[in-house]
A and B are shown apart, each in its own frame.
Chain A
Amino acid sequence: MSAIGTDDTPIIEISGLSKRYGPISAVDSVDLTIRRGEFFALLGPSGCGKTTLLRMLAGLELPTEGTIRIDGQDMSMVPANRRPVNMVFQSYAVFPHMSVRDNVAYGLRVDGVPKSDAWEQAEEALNLVKLGGYGPRRPDQLSGGQRQRVALARALVKRPKVLLLDEPLSALDAKLREQMRLELVNLQESVGITFVVVTHDQGEALSMADRIAVMDHGRVQQTAPPAELYEFPQTKFVADFIGSVNLIEGRVQAGGNGQVRLLAPGVPVPVEIEQENGLPEGSTGWLALRPEKVDISNDPPADAARNTVMGTVEEITYLGEVSIFHVRLDDEHPLIKVAIANVDRVTRRPFTWGDRVHLSWTPTCGIVLSQ
């Protein structure tokens, strides 16, 4: 997570931005501010409008409504070739008929930089993405990962105010993806350019970005740093999209006083959650509870302040680092997922299918959502 070079002045200000295709809104009145030097992620499921938003930032799509200001200047209707931003395309879009060097130098040559200067800067940019000496090669001699680096170098060499990356890691294999995450973060820190990354992969967004905007149906649901998104989601969608979550619907019993009581069908006792946002009495609320925050035990926990329910282990999923226990509560209604870290190497399962177990969590663990 790179806080280096971030100051609070905005580099991109989006207000009331919409893109409609006939009756369909791909992007629906989005307001968003991206700070200078930030690593920003647009996260959402496919079709949520994140790519359309990115393309509007690039100038490849023009907005139906609203404005985009880049570094203080209104760029809403400025075409792509006159914007101080550059993009790394999902398909990389490396020109197949040009050498790596000519690819990287393309944007400089367009600006009238003499060939020798452009080649020198291209070589520097290639060094930056660890492709030094690859200049004379042709794109078809490169692997997918190397082609992506060419696309990165080609965009960075123009020293844009913002670098836009459309699903930069989606075409790489799992191992390379993990390595590239780190590299992108390091690269962003060293060049100090604002990065805006579009991704559908929450792991990618959480691990790379300083701040994330979660989008759904063309709207921004929540914009926050990764930890805040994970621990304090504001909507069910965000809670569900980021990581794994148990969502239990119930009725708010007592609001205010730093405590929310939620009575959920199927859960015999009211759930108590420490939370400041006094929800109105009697309104519908959803308890969002992360699986790793629930403790599972044979005996009731000693701490009476913990929320405790009983259930039966219905299913166990082994995931390597953790095992997920699916526990059915007595009244059949909710099925609660509990993640237990596999600390020991030898498989020692304290609980097995059909066991009666106690599930418990502290009042600070969950969050009650109203929407």
Chain B
Amino acid sequence: MESWRRNPLVFWIIGLPPTAWLLGFFLIPLALVWVLSFAELRGVVDMEVTGTLSNYARAIDPLYLQIFVKSFVFAGLTTVVSLVFGFPVALAIVFAPRRWRALLLLLVILPFWTNLLIRTYALIAVLRTRGFVNFTLEWFWDQANAVLSLIGLGSLQLLGGRFEPLELLYNNTAVVVGLVYVHLPFMVLPLYASLEKLDRSLIEAALDLGASQLHAFRTVVVPLALPGIISGSILVFIPALGSFLTPDLLGGTDSQMIANVIERQFKSANDWPFGSALSFLLMYLTFGALALRALYSRRTAGQGRG
């Protein structure tokens, strides 16, 4: 870096294209959306930037606020479930023999090789009424019934007259399941990175001092994996919060998230100013959450957790 400072020309030549890219395709459109959020609709497609706050006022209407809350709950649940599932996975990869690790990590990111839409449809095939989960359950149901008839209890119909498939799709659970499925790798990878740096002798020291495996995990592994837990949680929470495809395809009528509302404003409702206001509200909320977190972590670091 120091040598770059001594040679500003190289710095500019290398730095200019990405800067121009970000400026042209990210910052300027974002600014346009921001400006639009203060606009009013004039007719079907015409808009006029009047500096009105009415779009924001409409956005904090209980109807939309409720969807915001629901989005946060979904994203939060997704984060927690991803953490609970992702931690053992990351730990298993770290403790796997060295030659297996690369392959296991590859398996974690394997879903990225397929398009999200296709993966979501695949999930539908798994979860729907005539899907693989229900087929499997039905098979077990048949076997159990066969066993019951064999021991002479068939006529009692202990398991009901016929197999009732579970309704696994088009509800809130399906959305969270889908979101976890999509976002799990974003949790596993940072966790792996922080667990991999963990000195094994620290765990051994805890055991040597009399700690049980669980206590060593709780007092040594988890605290030292905290940076990974935090970055994994951020990497899962933020995209999950803005998810649009998953609730659209897997959710029911009452499981739409804020991104679905925003999408509708820009497309079918054709209300760009309101959609822009919703978008920015979501962004402010996300920033707010991140700022709170940063504030909290700085305070705990300052305390020295003594």
Binding site for B on A (CB under 8 A): 58-60, 79-82, 85-87, 89-91, 93, 95-97, 99, 101-102, 106-107, 110-111, 136, 138, 151, 154-155, 158
Across the interface, B209 reaches (CB within 8 A) one of A60, A138, A158, namely A158
Across the interface, B205 reaches (CB within 8 A) one of A59, A79, A95, namely A95
Binding site for A on B (CB under 8 A): 199, 201-202, 204-212, 215, 219-220, 223-224, 226, 304-306
CB distance from B114 to the nearest CB of A (A): 39
Q: How far is the CA of A95 from the CA of B304 in the complex (A)?
A: 14
Interface of B is mostly: helix
**In contact, B304 and A60 (Cβ under 8 angstroms):** no
Residues of chain A within 8 A of B209, CB atoms compared? 81, 86, 106-107, 110, 154-155, 158
Residue of A nearest to B202 (CB): A93
Output the residue of B204, B205, B219 with the most chain A CB within 10 A.
B205
**In contact, A89 and B207 (Cβ under 8 angstroms):** no
Q: How far is the CA of A87 from the CA of B205 in the complex (A)?
A: 7
**In contact, A81 and B306 (Cβ under 8 angstroms):** no
**In contact, A80 and B305 (Cβ under 8 angstroms):** no
**In contact, B204 and A89 (Cβ under 8 angstroms):** yes
Q: How far is the CA of A138 from the CA of B224 in the complex (A)?
A: 14
Residue of A nearest to B220 (CB): A95
**In contact, B207 and A80 (Cβ under 8 angstroms):** yes
Q: How far is the CA of A136 from the CA of B202 in the complex (A)?
A: 20
Q: How far is the CA of A158 from the CA of B212 in the complex (A)?
A: 16
Q: How far is the CA of A102 from the CA of B205 in the complex (A)?
A: 14
Q: How far is the CA of A79 from the CA of B219 in the complex (A)?
A: 19
**In contact, A91 and B199 (Cβ under 8 angstroms):** yes
Across the interface, B206 reaches (CB within 8 A) one of A82, A90, A101, A106, namely A106
Residues of chain B within 8 A of A99, CB atoms compared? 304-306
Q: How far is the CA of A93 from the CA of B304 in the complex (A)?
A: 19
A93 touching B210 in the complex, CB below 8 Å, given contacts A99-B306, A110-B215? no
CB distance from A158 to the nearest CB of B (A): 7
7 A-B pairs besides A97-B224, A97-B305, A136-B304 with CB distance below 8 A are: A60-B204, A60-B208, A80-B208, A81-B209, A87-B205, A89-B204, A151-B205
A110 touching B204 in the complex, CB below 8 Å, given contacts A95-B220, A99-B304, A99-B306? no
Q: How far is the CA of A58 from the CA of B306 in the complex (A)?
A: 30
CB distance from B276 to the nearest CB of A (A): 44
**In contact, B215 and A93 (Cβ under 8 angstroms):** no
Residues of chain A within 8 A of B204, CB atoms compared? 60, 80, 87, 89, 93
**In contact, B201 and A89 (Cβ under 8 angstroms):** yes
A110 touching B210 in the complex, CB below 8 Å, given contacts A95-B220, A96-B224, A97-B305? yes
Q: How far is the CA of A319 from the CA of B216 in the complex (A)?
A: 49
CB distance from B82 to the nearest CB of A (A): 23
